[in-house]
Structure 1
Amino acid sequence: MDTNYSDLSLSKISSLMGIPDDEPDERIPLSIWIDNIKDYKIKELTDGDIAKLIRQEIFLDYIVPEAINRIEKNPLAGSLGDGEILESFSMVSVDIWKSEGQKFCKELKLLLEEFLMKLQSFKLDIPYHTERFDDLDQADLAKSIKKAIENLNLALQ
């Protein structure tokens, strides 16, 4: 990725995009969560926060570069479970990839294809999770990666 947004906060991104900083709706957990993390720099967010922002399709232009950086360092990055960031890409709709994430589609697709190949050939460098990342986990992660690749292929058409 050429652009580094890791020093921006969600508040700063909102400001750059002309989105007003409204009070959170206390009835909506997502609104409360965003309010709690909005002043942290992207690089300070947890892996779980990055994955959730992707799943919620929030500021993908700013979040995807950080996600790619993290999974290049640790393919199993996540808070809820191993590979959470990788799995989150499979939950982004084709329409969103086409409209908001188009500039990342090709690079992300190539990266995911590489991870899938390494995962299936047992050559994926897993920094510290080897003991608890079993065959079922690998199969689930492979399924999510395939779904993400499929969505990215459709977005690139």
Structure 2
Amino acid sequence: MDVTSYKIKEIEVELGIIYDSSSSESPLSLWYENIRDKFVYELKLGDVLRLLRQQLYVSYIVPKAVEYLQANLFAGEQYDGELVAVLSRIPFDTWGQNETLKRDLQKIISSEYLNINQRIWTTDSFRSNFLKDYDKLLKNLY
């Protein structure tokens, strides 16, 4: 079964996680309650970023993240390249044993190098930070 066709609450069941909906009224808890009935393929970029920052269900969420990167290497909600930054901080071994996914991401990352150099950056700092995250992600993949 394609992992993007799972609902978040189905992932919880598969992983043996017991969700307590009365645990908190924090913004993070309310957001999580809101996405539990969504399929992974329905998740918006912000949802994917939040789940990955929390390192929740990484092997289920990374395929959706790769879809976003295929559409735009500079995908982000708060800043350009945010998805690359988040993925660069996740050890590859937590992604699951998905070699096809790894190859797909390697291909995207490698083929977009020219676009990085041709991009007009707001500041040198943004370019520098993106390149650091890009290089770290690349090293994690190889």
Q: Which amino acid aligns with 1:78?
A: G
Residue pairs, 1:52-91, within 5 angstroms: 52-91=50-89
- Relative to structure 1, the CA distance from residue 24 to residue 152 in structure 2 (aligned partners, 3 Å threshold; closer, same or farther) is farther
Equivalence for 1:118:
114
**SS at 1:150's partner residue?**
helix
Partner of 1:42: 40
Is the counterpart of residue 140 in structure 1 residue 134 in structure 2?
A: no
Question: Which amino acid counterpart does residue 76 of structure 2 have in structure 1?
Answer: G
For residues 79 and 105 of structure 2, the distance between their equivalents in structure 1, rounded to whole angstroms, comes to 21
Q: Is the 8 A contact 1:76 1:83 kept in 2?
A: yes
Q: Is the CA contact (8 Å cut-off) linking 1:54 and 1:88 kept in structure 2?
A: yes
**1: CA distance between counterparts of 2:54 and 2:19?**
18
Instruction: Give the 3 Å change call, closer, same or farther, for CA 30–24 of structure 1 in structure 2.
Output: farther
Structure-2 separation of matches of 1:151 and 1:37: 29
Other structure's SS at 2:37 match: coil
User: CA–CA distance in 2 between the matches of 1:58 and 1:42?
Assistant: 12
Q: Encode CA deviations 1:93-150: one digit per residue, 9 max, x unaligned.
A: x3xx2244342434323432333x223432x7xxxxx7xx535333322211111122
Do 1:24 and 1:32's aligned partners in 2 also have CA atoms closer than 8 Å? no
* CA RMSD across the alignment: 2.6
Alpha-carbon distance between aligned partners in 1 of 2:12 and 2:36, rounded to the nearest angstrom = 9
Equivalent in the alignment of 1:127: none
Asked whether the equivalents of residues 6 and 66 of structure 1 are also in contact (C-alpha less than 8 Å), the reply is yes
Size of the alignment, in residue pairs? Answer: 139
1:26-78 deviations in whole A, cap 9, x for unaligned? 17654443223211222322211111212222112211111111111122222
For residues 55 and 87 of structure 2, the distance between their equivalents in structure 1, rounded to whole angstroms, comes to 9
Mapped partners of 1:87, 1:39: distance in 2 = 27
The match for 1:101 among 92, 96, 108 is 96
**TM-score, normalising length from structure 1?**
0.71
Q: Conserved in 2, the CA contact under 8 Å of 1:46 and 1:79?
A: no
The residue type paired with residue 101 of structure 1 is G
Gaps of 5+ in 2: none
